[in-house]
Structure 1
């Protein structure tokens, strides 16, 4: 089989990073390279032509996931700076929705990657640095004059994780609704 073009190699790398980002949020970073490459539609042997190690891919996939989170914050801002309460409500409603609960693969990397990042050891590497910066930026976006962003983030994250863990029981939707109400009670 011949060599692939530079453009094809870049496309293959992008596909692997996007697939890894989804699979890691949905299943954890323990997904094997073989499973990952199969899900990407590529051969296992091609992995090491693109990445120095699986850890390097975890780093890149984590950064990709946080880039998607930043974009989703922008996408859920229909009202912008003119109506910050409406924008905050729209974001909270989307984050604490059944659809987000049920879509871990495309969901919040704070929730999807927390356990794996925590298990990464004390050094944690680039993935931990990217994760920590992403959590800080997320909390900063949630900060208002009346609410601390870290408290809001903890409420959002805790509710999402608990709702996912109790999916299939009415408690799951109750958790989402209760957290949504607590975070939006002062919004117009």
Structure 2
């Protein structure tokens, strides 16, 4: 007699826990970009996620574990955005489109949903190893996305140019957000785009 194996169904409780976990990570990914790692507290995140402070340890072993997931999520969101920009542009214009989107006024203003590297780069050396590991993995993905847009992708020169391009983009965004002079902020982005374009990045 043949036995029919049924797929196990996720219980309502497990599904609810997964949905709660997702809300926490989403809230934390926004919060670290908005307030920095040090300005992101467990109580505030749980409140934003609509959960009690006491429920935190049902999802994470520590605050650092939450921050690591938040860093990973923020990096993934940023890279997904970049990949969509690239996919929507003609191949020969993909890198230019990516750089323009990254240094746009919308991205400049969207700290909470934008690139976590520009929002958190100066804080990274002081973070726990698991947080830095998560962020580093996403930074490598960002570099790879830029390198893949080069005609000579796969060659050492393409990777080197991608390193410079990403460093320039991130540094420019950090400076453009740091100053309280709108004209200077615009000039920084315009100059960086002009230089990257003329260098054949």
TM-score (norm: length of structure 2): 0.81
> Does 2:15 correspond to 1:7?
yes
SS in 1 for 2:86: coil
Number of residue equivalences: 179
Distance in 2, Cα, partners of 1:167 & 1:48: 40
Cα deviation for residue 169 of structure 1 reads 3.0
CA contact (8 A) 1:26 1:105 kept: yes
Cα deviation for residue 79 of structure 1 reads 4.5
Please name the residue that 1:129 is paired with.
133
Please name the residue that 2:177 is paired with.
164
* Segment of structure 1 superposing worse, 68-77 or 137-146: 137-146
* Segment of structure 1 superposing worse, 109-118 or 7-16: 109-118
Please name the residue that 2:31 is paired with.
23
Distance in 2, Cα, partners of 1:35 & 1:141: 34
RMSD: 1.9
Distance in 1, Cα, partners of 2:117 & 2:92: 23
Distance in 1, Cα, partners of 2:138 & 2:123: 15
CA contact (8 A) 2:83 2:145 kept: no
Distance in 2, Cα, partners of 1:79 & 1:127: 32
Equivalent positions of 1:115-154 (< 5 A) are: 115-120=122-127, 124-143=128-147, 144=150, 145=152, 148-154=161-167
Please name the residue that 2:54 is paired with.
45
SS in 2 for 1:52: coil
Distance in 2, Cα, partners of 1:162 & 1:70: 21
SS in 2 for 1:170: helix
Cα deviation for residue 186 of structure 1 reads 6.0
Larger Rg: 2
Please name the residue that 1:76 is paired with.
85
String of CA shifts for 1:138-172, please: whole Å, max 9, x gaps: 12222334761111011101110001001443101
CA contact (8 A) 2:176 2:185 kept: yes
Distance in 1, Cα, partners of 2:185 & 2:143: 24
Runs of 4+ in 1 over 2 A off after TM superposition: 143-147, 184-187
Please name the residue that 2:188 is paired with.
175
Please name the residue that 1:89 is paired with.
96
Unaligned runs of 5+ residues in structure 2 are 1-11
Unaligned runs of 5+ residues in structure 1 are none
CA contact (8 A) 2:101 2:107 kept: yes
CA contact (8 A) 1:79 1:86 kept: no
